[in-house]
Every structure is written in C-alpha cells, then in structure tokens.
C-alpha cells in the first residue's frame, strides 16, 4: 500500500513543486540581500545618497530650452523660475523683466518678457529695483532666465519646486532635457540654488 | 543664444556689480517648499504590509469580498490619488534592474521594499498585492461590472504580452535608456488628474474595457503581475499536499460551476478527467516536441531581438543624439534639432560621444539577446504547459492567475450555507 503511494505521480509533482518553492525562495532571499547591499550609491553631485532622492535642475547646465514648461506631467509645470537676490544687480533695465527691443521702461505688456506676468518689481532706492517671482503665475518657460543669463548676472534660474514636484520614478523632463541638467539630489540638499555662487 | 553654458554664466555673474544700498535694504529671505517627508515613505510601507496582511486574512480566514473591496477603495484613494501613484511596485522593477547592473545608481531602501514585499507575500499566499493593494488593479476592480470571457486561445496569446513588456522593460532599464513602464503607465494620468493626451486616452480606454472584461491591465499588460504569477505558482502550500493554496470553500466543492463563471480573470479551473480520449503515445510525442521546441524558441527569440539591438538602441538618449548629429553632418541644410543645437552650443565632443555610444551599443547587444531569450523561453514554456493535462476532481484556483478579488467566495453556495442559517 505504502509502496503504491510512493510511486504515484502526485508525489513526484509535490516533490518538484517543493523544489521549485525552495529555489524561488532562495533566489528571492539571495537577490533581496544582494540588492539591499546596493541600496547606497552616489548621486550625480558626488554626495552619498541617503534615504529618498529628489529631482533638481543643475542651474549651471540648464540651457532654458523651454521643455520644462511643456514636458512636466503636471498641467502647470513644477519647474519655476527662482531668483537669487544676492546675485542680482537690481538694475532698472533688467534683461529678465523687459524684452530685448524695449523702448520705454514701463509695465506695458508688450515691453515685458514674462508671458504670464509672473515677475513683479519693487523700487528700493535710486537706481535699484527688487525683482520677485509670483510662483502661482510662473509656468517655467524660462524666457526671463534666458534674458537674465544673456544680459544680466544670471540671478534668475529655473528650478524644480519640491512641494509641487510629484517625484516621478523617471522625471519626464529629465528624459527630454537636451543638456542632461536634471539630476537627483538627497533630501539634505533638496535645492540646487545659485545664492552661494 | 542657447549656448550660455555653466562657465559662461558663472563668468557673467560679474557683469553688473552688486548694488551698494544706502537705505539699509536687506536681502529678502526666500523659502522654498520642502519635499515630502520621510514619514510618508514609512507610512507607505506600513500600509503596504498592513493591507496585504488584511487581504490575506480576508481571503484565507473570512472568505470575504467586502473587506477586499474596501481595501481597494483605500488603495485607490491613498496610493492612487493621494500619493499620486509613484513609486509603485510595478515601476520599481526598473529601479531594481538598474541598481542590479549599475552599482552607482541610487536605489533607496524604500523602493527595494516596495519591490520585494509583494513578491514575498506572493511566495507565501499568492498574488495578494494584485488583489486590493495595487492601485492600478484596485481601480479596475472597482469599475468592473460584467465579465465577458475571452476564448482560452485568445487569452493565452494575450497573456504573453506582459512577458514581452517585461523583457523590453529590463532591456531599457539595464541599458539606462528609459523607464518603459512609467512612460506607458495607463492610470497615473487619472490619479494625477492630468497628463498627456495619449496617456489619458489609453487609461480611459482600459478603464472602459475593464467594465466588461476583468482587469485587462493585470491580465494582459502588467509585467509585475507576470513576475508575481511565477512566485505565486511556486508558493508554499499550507495544509494538504497537492491542494491549491487558496480554497474557494472549506466545506467541500459540489462542482456547481458557479465560481468558475464568476471569476473575472478566468483563474478557476474546471474539473477534468486525467484520462483523456487521447492515445498515450500521441500525448508523449507532443510533450517531447514541445520540450524540444522550448530551447529552439529561446534561441530564436534571442537571435531575433539580438540582431535588432542597433535599432533598439535608438531609445537611448546618447545614441539618438549621435544619430541626429550624423544626419546633420550628412545634410547641413537641415534645420538643427534642439538636441544638436544644445550639443554644439555646449561644446560637445563628437569622439567622446562616439565612445559613449559604442559602450551603450555593446550593452544593448548583450541585453537584447537576454530579453529575446526570455521572450522565447516564456512562449516555449507556455506551450509546454498548455500541452500538459492534469486531472482535477473539483473546481480549483490557479494561483498563477488568481488576483484574489474574492468574487468566487460570494458565488459559492457552500459558503452561503452559514449565512442563511
């Protein structure tokens, strides 16, 4: 009776299944352990990655191609214009505020660079003006950044606003960025700014 | 104008001198919104484990669909809409593959756990994750009304798609080209309430389909489901030997066929006699034929995809750029694409790029053979499996396909006995 039981194909199937389970379990454990040993890694800026990582633009690599405005997964891009006041020249004739061909320095729409009117300025003292970005209006097109970089100190720059960014597994803008300016940073240095430049 | 590169703009910072304010002006403090906190990641993992455990309890102990359905609602709301669907276990395949081939790639522990935990649960209990924890599956589950059954042949053919998808995902992730799964994620656009047109149309089309067909994404597209199905079918069995892991009822099947008709993913196998009308010799011959076909198909697949690795490598940014540059050189009158313009403006070196491209292409030729081999092997294995006929006395769950939606529990009259009393 017992002999018959041993010979039945069901036992062979059980045996094979147990082998399969053991192999699968072993592989999972081994792969898991091996991968856990690789959870470190270094980020593009050379720092050791710890914990979670976040997308940022390297402002010195950015060429303001305009894709940040159009390619973000959000309806209005999470990329915004940032302003490094400490780099700004506070000029009246600002390359980021006015269009290049401007005749009169007034706030008529045809004179202004920003298509959404997101840049505001405030008189400080003769002849200085303080510029600020209204982030709710900014769409990250980078027109002002381009103006400021080519005629100015480069104090305006595009950056990913971390509380808007969805932290996609693969940043859609990074995939199309022509200058590979979008990299991951650790939460300790969540912003790549120009202030300390 | 494009070409204001790093060095240039750093130089440009001295263009206008810093103003020396006399009115006591102070630079404004600027606060930038902080990224979400680690707390949410911890909560994700806790919820992932908690919800999977709850589904196990609901399926194995309570045989209750309503608990599983309420998990689905929680999953869609939390993992889907609130956490906006990223990082998900399906997409984490790519992070893991990239980290496996590239030690400089940063794989957060959180992402590794998101990848591994559902696999561990699949090994122990089956595809618990698919059931009510994966927001993609849960969304389809919640809209499903009718189950129009596809024929076995059609669904067997379509169920090869996830493997092809997986093979190409691995190919593109291992060569650091792009994340295919993220790019063609059908539902992330819905969770974020916005996205490009193609994504939304694809997502809505799948959702409309899933009203009539159970979980079309899970059955015929999801590469992670394919991975889980392997682990699920090799999972440990609790209780009696040779019994399916999850039983529709613990009160004994009466072969009424109701569960089989209720299953949205066709995972319930009807009883059949192991002694078929077929001649034994004929059956053995067919199995031998399939066993011979398996390595041939593997090899054939590897050759087919491997031979096309150069064309496939265009998915890599650098290869694409190099191709554009070559086109540009051959035809200088052509309008400069943005990539070429930027490359030139940044003073890119053609030889350096060529060296990079050669590296990428050699990577591609290796991984393309691997991916093709995987596709061939899976097709061969499927054929072999289809040609085996196993006897069954009662209706049983095929743990590889079962996504543990719990529908069959409610249809089983044996389960209803208690409730009526």
Interface with B, mutate which of A42, A126, A129, A179 (most B CBs under 10 A)? A179
B5 and chain A in contact, CB less than 8 A: yes
Give the HSE-up count for residue A103: Cα atoms under 13 Å, Cβ half-sphere.
1
> Domain-by-domain residue ranges, chain B?
39-247, 280-384
Contact B104 A42 (CB under 8 A): yes
Closest Cα in chain A to B189: A73
The C-alpha atoms of residue B142 and residue B407 are separated, in whole angstroms, by 12
Question: Given a cut of 70, is residue B53 above it in pLDDT?
Answer: yes
Reported confidence tier of residue B11, pLDDT bands at 50, 70, 90: very low
- H/E stretch holding B167 reads helix B161-174
DSSP at B269 = E
Chain B residues with CB inside 8 Å of A10's CB? 241-242
CB B381 within 8 A of CB B400: no
Which of B2, B38, B86 comes nearest A168 by C-beta? Answer: B86
> Domain-by-domain residue ranges, chain A?
2-36, 53-189
CB B95 within 8 A of CB A169: yes
Chain B residues with CB inside 8 Å of A74's CB? 192, 194
Distance from CA of B258 to the nearest CA of A (A): 27
Q: Please count the residue pairs, one from chain A and one from chain B, whose beta carbons lie less than 8 angstroms apart.
A: 197
B28 and chain A in contact, CB less than 8 A: yes
At A10-67, the pLDDT tens digits run 567 777 777 888 888 888 889 888 888 877 666 766 666 666 788 999 999 999 999 9
A187 and chain B in contact, CB less than 8 A: yes
A30 and chain B in contact, CB less than 8 A: no
Distance from CA of B416 to the nearest CA of A (A): 32
Sign (positive/negative) of CA torsion B53, B54, B59, B61?
Answer: positive
Reported confidence tier of residue B31, pLDDT bands at 50, 70, 90: confident
B34 and chain A in contact, CB less than 8 A: yes
Burial class (CB in 10 A: 0-12, 13-18, 19+), B81: middle
The ipTM, to two decimals, is 0.84
Question: Given a cut of 70, is residue B256 above it in pLDDT?
Answer: yes
Closest Cα in chain A to B195: A73
Closest Cα in chain B to A50: B108
Residues 6 or more apart whose Cβ sits within 8 Å of residue B283: B276, B387, B389
Reported confidence tier of residue B192, pLDDT bands at 50, 70, 90: confident
The C-alpha atoms of residue B292 and residue B286 are separated, in whole angstroms, by 10
HEC string for chain A: CHHHHHHCHHHHHHHHHHHHHHHHHHHHHHHHHHHHCCCCCECCCCCECCCCEEEEECCCCCCCCCHHHHHCCCCCCCEEEEECCCCCCCCCCCCCCECCCCCCCCCCHHHECCCCCCEEEEEEECCEEEEEECCCCCCCCCHHHHHHHHCCCCCEEEEECCCCCCCCCCCHHHHHCCCCCEEEEEHHHCCCCCCCC
Contact B108 A51 (CB under 8 A): yes
Burial class (CB in 10 A: 0-12, 13-18, 19+), B296: exposed
The chain-wide mean pLDDT, for chain B, equals: 88
Contact B35 A89 (CB under 8 A): no
A131: phi then psi, degrees, rounded to nearest 5: -105, 145
Question: Given a cut of 70, is residue B351 above it in pLDDT?
Answer: yes
Contact A23 B2 (CB under 8 A): no
Beta carbons within 10 angstroms of residue B387's beta carbon: 15
């Amino acid at each position: 009776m017992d002999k018959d039981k041993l010979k039945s194909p069901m036992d062979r199937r059980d045996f094979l299944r147990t082998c399969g389970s053991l192999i699968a379990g072993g592989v999972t454990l081994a792969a898991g352990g091996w991968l856990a040993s690789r959870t470190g890694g270094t980020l593009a800026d050379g720092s050791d990655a710890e914990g979670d990582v976040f997308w940022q633009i390297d402002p010195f690599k950015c060429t303001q191609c305009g894709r940040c405005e159009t390619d973000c997964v959000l309806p209005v891009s999470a990329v915004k214009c940032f302003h490094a006041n400490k780099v700004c020249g506070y000029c009246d004739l600002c390359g980021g505020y006015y269009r290049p061909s401007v005749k009169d320095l007034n706030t008529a729409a045809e004179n202004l660079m920003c298509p959404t009117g997101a840049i505001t300025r405030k008189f400080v003292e003769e002849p200085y003006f303080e510029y600020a970005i209204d982030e709710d209006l900014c769409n990250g097109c980078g027109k002002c950044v381009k103006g400021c970089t080519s005629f100015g100190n480069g104090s305006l720059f595009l950056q990913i606003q971390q509380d808007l960014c969805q932290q996609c597994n693969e940043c859609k803008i990074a995939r199309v960025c022509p200058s590979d300016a979008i990299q991951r940073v650790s939460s300790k240095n969540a912003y790549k700014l120009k202030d300390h430049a | 104008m494009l070409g204001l590169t790093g060095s240039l703009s750093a130089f440009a910072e001295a263009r206008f001198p810093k103003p020396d304010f006399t009115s006591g002006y102070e630079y404004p403090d600027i606060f930038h919104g902080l990224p979400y906190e680690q707390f949410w990641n911890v909560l994700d993992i806790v919820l992932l484990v908690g919800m999977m455990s709850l589904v196990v309890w609901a399926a194995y102990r309570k045989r209750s669909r309503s608990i599983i359905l309420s998990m689905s609602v929680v999953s869609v709301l939390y993992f889907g809409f609130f956490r906006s669907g990223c990082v998900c276990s399906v997409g984490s395949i790519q992070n893991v593959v990239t980290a496996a081939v590239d030690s400089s790639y940063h794989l957060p522990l959180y992402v590794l756990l998101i990848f591994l935990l559902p696999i561990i649960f699949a090994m122990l209990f089956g595809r618990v994750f698919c059931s009510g924890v994966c927001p993609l599956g849960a969304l389809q589950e919640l809209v499903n009304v009718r189950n129009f059954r596809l024929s076995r042949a059609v669904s067997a053919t379509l169920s090869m798609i996830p493997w092809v998808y997986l093979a190409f995902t691995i190919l593109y992730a291992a060569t650091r080209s792009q994340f295919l799964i993220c790019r063609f994620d059908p539902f992330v656009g819905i969770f974020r309430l916005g996205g490009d047109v193609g994504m939304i149309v694809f997502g809505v089309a799948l959702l409309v389909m899933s009203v009539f067909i159970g979980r079309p994404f899970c059955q015929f597209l999801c590469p992670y489901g394919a991975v889980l199905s392997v682990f699920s079918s090799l999972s440990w069995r609790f209780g009696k030997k040779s019994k399916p892991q999850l039983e529709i009822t613990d009160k004994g099947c009466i072969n009424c066929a109701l569960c089989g008709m209720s299953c949205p993913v066709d995972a319930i196998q009807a009883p059949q006699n192991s002694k078929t009308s077929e001649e034994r010799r004929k059956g053995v011959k067919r199995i031998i034929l399939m066993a011979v076909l398996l390595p041939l198909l593997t090899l054939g697949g590897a050759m087919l995809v491997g031979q096309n690795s150069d064309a496939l490598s265009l998915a890599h940014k650098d290869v694409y750029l190099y191709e554009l540059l070559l086109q540009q050189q051959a035809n200088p009158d052509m309008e400069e694409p943005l990539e070429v313009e930027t490359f030139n403006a940044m003073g890119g070196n053609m030889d350096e790029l060529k060296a990079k491209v050669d590296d990428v292409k050699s990577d591609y030729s290796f991984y393309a053979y691997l991916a093709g081999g995987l596709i061939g092997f899976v097709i061969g294995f499927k054929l072999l499996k289809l040609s085996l006929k196993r006897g069954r006395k009662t209706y049983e769950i095929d743990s590889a396909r079962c996504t543990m939606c719990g529908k069959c529990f409610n249809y089983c009259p044996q389960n209803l006995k208690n409730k009526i009393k």
